[in-house]
Amino acid sequence: MNMFALRSFMIAAMAIILVACSPKPEFKNIDITGSTAFGKDFSLLDPDGNVRTLADFKGKVVVMFFGYTQCPDICPTTLTEMQQVMTLLGPQSDKVQILFVTVDPERDTAAILKQYVPSFDPRFLGLRPADEAALEKVSKDFKIYYKKVPGKSPGSYTMDHMAGSYAFDPQGRLRLYIKHAQGPETLAHDLKELMK
């Protein structure tokens, strides 16, 4: 074996050893790393009318939750839990971006999102689709279930919607489906894993 072949063999062997020795993250939520069927990107409006995409948050772990501001239970519970996660993360929380995406843009105006979402934590950002077609696109892209449930009057409807969230790593890759209401410690653990 000549010196070039030996060196190439040694480099390849070292690479295999390094990959084999790299610990796989032990997530407590559902690992969807490598999924290419959905959740690649989004194009949504922030409360100031700016178009935001996943690239705007590169370098941060992004947690994306779909809901609506008049939700009586799941949404405020989730946002409160996210706030508790940020407290548990301490200084590492600056490496996390929480995004709340409304499935009720009819009532969740930019002004309402600007007031409601940061009331849980000033770093949280509310996003909304520009129109019904944009809502349909993002819900299809992320496999989001939502449905308007009529109330006693036209403006009193509620929205059925999925309760889980998605997490992206700092490189913008979709990594986790986060189950609802597990407690802030569980989510903080997984977000720390994504920061590694």
C-alpha 89/C-alpha 110 separation (Å) is: 29
Residues comprising the binding site? Answer: 71, 75, 161
Mark the binding-site residues for Cu cation, compressed into ranges: 71, 75, 161
Relative orientation angle of helices 184-195 and 74-89, to the nearest 10 degrees: 50
Chain centre to alpha carbon of residue 90? 19
CA distance to 23, 32, 89, 192, per residue, from 117 (Å): 36, 27, 19, 23
The rounded distance, in Å, linking the Cα atoms of 151 and 158 is: 7
